[in-house]
Amino acid sequence: MENNKITIQTQINAPVAKVWEYWNQPEHIKGWAFASDTWEAPHAENDLRIGGKFMTRMQEKGTNNGFDFGGVYTNVVEYKTIEYDMSKDINEETSRHVAIEFEETPMGVKVTQVFDPENENPIEMQRQGWQTILDNFKSYTEKHQ
């Protein structure tokens, strides 16, 4: 499965402490964790530690049509790395793994996500969906001072 992993990236013009806070604090997660303006994240929980759990509700605005995105942290290094195993879908045999790297650069913070794809949707659709959410995070973080 290693060679099937999907990688996405963005460069955020902000200090690493702010990027880390906005990525992990539930009040900020609710501001960016969706891929379209017609969606929202009305609820988020985050226990950022190895073995800790997180859950974000993603849904269409004005409806209950959506899903809970969650998992369990397997590695956390402040300002550097977050890894987790996603909660298994009913038709998945194993958990999908996600690794996020936060790299300080002269232009801010480069965020790289590498994740196991799911088997239902085309790889490119998954890459675009996750990239859109990452781009939404970048916009949210840079816009809020």
- Scanning the chain, the segments in alpha helix (DSSP H) are 16-24, 26-32, 123-143
Mean pLDDT in order along the chain per 10 residues (145 residues) = 82 98 98 95 98 97 94 98 88 86 97 94 94 97 90
Q: Which residues on adjacent β-strands are paired with residue 6?
A: 115
pTM: 0.92
Q: How far is residue 92 from each of residues 19, 44, 117, measured CA to CA in Å?
A: 32, 24, 11
CATH architecture classification, 2-143 = 2-Layer Sandwich (3.30)
d(CA 123, CA 102) in angstroms, rounded, equals 24
DSSP H helices in 3-97: 16-24, 26-32
